[in-house]
Amino acid sequence: MKMLIGYLGLSVLLMCVATSAYDRPVNDAANVTLQNLQTAFNGESNAHARYLAFAEKADQEGYFQIAALFRAAAKAEQIHANNHEAEIKKLGDTAKANVENSVVKSTKENLEAAIKGETYERDAMYPDFYKQARSVAIPGAVQTFNYASSAEAEHAKLFTAALNNMATMRTKGATYYVCTVCGYTTTNLDFAKCHVCYSPKDKYAAVS
């Protein structure tokens, strides 16, 4: 009987060790996604503040359409930050951001900086974060990274178009539309559902 009890005890111990060895990589990988969410939350929080500062500069220089675009992008970045924060909470953590003072230059230079940042997020940061979140099957993180990546790609296009046509961007009254679910930003509402999250058109907010 003692031998049987000892054997059963050893079996349980081995099972616990095996389970621990299996769980540890999964937990560590999930923690990577949590850290990626924190990185993205910090980046989007800073982008929100930076684009508002860029919008103010564009208004001062008379580029009113570009100012509206920066305000729309700022709203989108805030939506991304909110989405990231929700997923961080689901994973049991608190979202943290260190919002730095924005470096504001000329509107032309600000557009160039914005394009650089959006291109990096579109081509490198968010694809890597998305891939990692999929590998550990965290669907909320997969979704929020996909939403942000798609919106940043469109931001890069809009900023590039603005940079290439600055001389025509001085008239007032420009309006951009931002999806309040995913942050996708567009110049018109010629569709029934959002191109990214498929929310109905009435989920879009006008920004001017």
Tens digits of residue pLDDT in 151-179: 999 999 999 999 999 999 999 999 999 99
Query: Distances in Å between the alpha carbon of 124 and those of 118, 119, 144, 161?
Result: 10, 8, 16, 22
Q: Binning pLDDT at 50, 70 and 90, where does residue 30 land?
A: confident
- How high is the pLDDT of residue 82? 98
- How high is the pLDDT of residue 44? 98
Q: 3-class DSSP state for residue 7? A: helix
Higher pLDDT, 18 or 190: 190
Residues 6+ apart with CB under 8 A from 96: 38, 41, 42
User: What is the rounded CA–CA span in Å between residue 120 and residue 153?
Assistant: 10
User: What is the rounded CA–CA span in Å between residue 38 and residue 58?
Assistant: 30
User: What is the rounded CA–CA span in Å between residue 71 and residue 125?
Assistant: 23
CB 145 within 8 A of CB 131: no
- How high is the pLDDT of residue 72? 98
Q: What is the pTM (predicted TM-score) of this model?
A: 0.85
pLDDT tops 50 at residue 94: yes
Domain 2-170 is classified in which CATH homologous superfamily?
Ferritin, core subunit, four-helix bundle (1.20.1260.10)
The number of residues making up the chain comes to: 208
DSSP β-bridge partners for residue 140: none
Domain ranges of the chain: 2-170
Mean pLDDT estimate for the chain: 89
User: What is the rounded CA–CA span in Å between residue 59 and residue 136?
Assistant: 45
